[in-house]
Homo-oligomer: A and B are copies of this chain.
Amino acid sequence: MKNIEIVYTPKLLPLYDLKGKTVVVIDILRATSTMCVAFETGIDKILPVSTPEECSIFKDFDFLTAAERNAEKLPGFDMGNSPFEFLNPLIEGKKIAFTTTNGTKAIKLARQQEAAEIVIGSFLNIDAVERYLIEKNRPVVLLCAGWKDKYNLEDTLFAGALAQRLAGEDEQEDDSCIAGIALYEQHKNELEALVRKSSHARRFQLLHSQTDDVSFCLQMNYTQKVPRLSGEYIIS
């Protein structure tokens, strides 16, 4: 596949034309990883929403609510943004309204710019996403959610990993794509070590979380689901 671009942060997305393209939204720590877990557990659908206030409203309409800001679960919501919270079989069949610092914002931006399709990517579903993109055969934009509009390592590593699989032997024309593949190539045998150096992973360490979300989110192929946007909802 020749036409692959990596967008390192949502701030750069307005520079790209998304018409006719499939956008893969990537927020490895943790929104898109957590969404993959939620669908594997068996939820019905996810409604990505912009603000915690908006998210709260959906408590009245038979939704579970999940809200995270600055890597922490917000008080008053059913869940935060840790994949471990979405392993609970009691969420099976439920609708979830979901707001996070970076991931849900990236999804909404891609939608505003009229991408042909928006899918949710993470190491947890990398094989399934790869197959899906090859089958659809559209130009692909890999959109890193980043951290508050800044570049981050873990999203770039995943974008590089996926770009490399899709590119095969084709020379890439996009500078971001060439650099993303190079970063992944150099670190593919020590992904976790590099991600633990990232600013976001260090942010988790400061929070003294009881679960090892970093190592969970770097597992390959936990699920074969390919969550994707359909109207306002993410379904699978």
The residues of A with any CB-CB pair to B shorter than 8 Å are 8-9, 11-12, 15, 147-153, 156, 171, 173-176, 178-179, 182-183, 185-187, 194, 197-200, 202
Please give the count of copies of this chain that the complex contains.
2
When chains A and B are docked, how far (Å) is the Cα of A202 from the Cα of B172?
12
When chains A and B are docked, how far (Å) is the Cα of A183 from the Cα of B182?
7
When chains A and B are docked, how far (Å) is the Cα of A194 from the Cα of B182?
11
Residues of B within 8 A of A149 (CB): 12, 15
Task: With both chains docked as a complex, state the minimum distance between the C-beta of A26 and any C-beta of chain B, in angstroms.
Answer: 14
- Interchain CB contact under 8 A, B171 and A15: no
- Interchain CB contact under 8 A, B11 and A15: yes
Residues of B within 8 A of A185 (CB): 186
Report 12 cross-chain contacts, Cβ distance below 8 Å, ordered by A residue: A11-B12, A15-B148, A150-B175, A151-B179, A153-B175, A153-B178, A175-B200, A178-B194, A178-B197, A182-B183, A182-B187, A186-B186
Residues of B within 8 A of A176 (CB): 150-151
Residue from B171, B173, B187, B199 in contact with A175 in the complex, judged by beta carbons closer than 8 Å: B199
Residue from B156, B171, B175 in contact with A179 in the complex, judged by beta carbons closer than 8 Å: B156
A182-B183, A182-B186 given; A8·B174 CB < 8 A: no
Task: With both chains docked as a complex, state the minimum distance between the C-beta of A66 and any C-beta of chain B, in angstroms.
Answer: 25
Residues of B within 8 A of A174 (CB): 199
A9-B12, A150-B15 given; A183·B179 CB < 8 A: yes
A173-B199, A178-B198 given; A8·B8 CB < 8 A: yes
Task: With both chains docked as a complex, state the minimum distance between the C-beta of A6 and any C-beta of chain B, in angstroms.
Answer: 8
Task: With both chains docked as a complex, state the minimum distance between the C-beta of A160 and any C-beta of chain B, in angstroms.
Answer: 10
When chains A and B are docked, how far (Å) is the Cα of A153 from the Cα of B180?
11
When chains A and B are docked, how far (Å) is the Cα of A89 from the Cα of B32?
58
Residues of B within 8 A of A8 (CB): 8, 151
Residues of B within 8 A of A11 (CB): 11-12, 15
Task: With both chains docked as a complex, state the minimum distance between the C-beta of A150 and any C-beta of chain B, in angstroms.
Answer: 6
Residues of B within 8 A of A147 (CB): 175
